[in-house]
Amino acid sequence: VIPYRAVTSLSDETVDDFLQGWNDNRVRILIFSKAESIRLRYLIIAFRFRNRAAVGHVRLDVPENSRTSRKYNVQSKM
């Protein structure tokens, strides 16, 4: 069973804090998608590498996340 906290849901307000969480010494990974939840393959990867990487999910279809998608030049037509 994969814990529901394997991937952190992020918004424009929380993405910078997530990326600057260096004190746990883990790599930060951002996943961008239009879906409310991420695909199982990404959940499995997040769970497998939970001790080495922190995974965050940014939804592209939410207007509140437009700043983050522009900052990282992510196309909304993915």
Is the pLDDT assigned to residue 68 strictly greater than 70?
yes
pTM reported for the whole predicted model: 0.88
pLDDT-derived band at 5 (thresholds 50, 70, 90) equals confident
Q: H helices of 1-78, where?
A: 15-19, 40-48, 66-71
Rounded Cα distance between 59 and 69, Å, is 9
Q: Read off the pLDDT of residues 13-58 as tens digits, 9 standing for 90 and up.
A: 999 999 998 888 999 999 999 999 899 999 999 999 999 999 999 9
Is the pLDDT assigned to residue 78 strictly greater than 70?
no
- 2 contact partners, CB below 8 Å, separation of at least 6: 43, 44, 47
Read off the amino acid at residue 34.
K
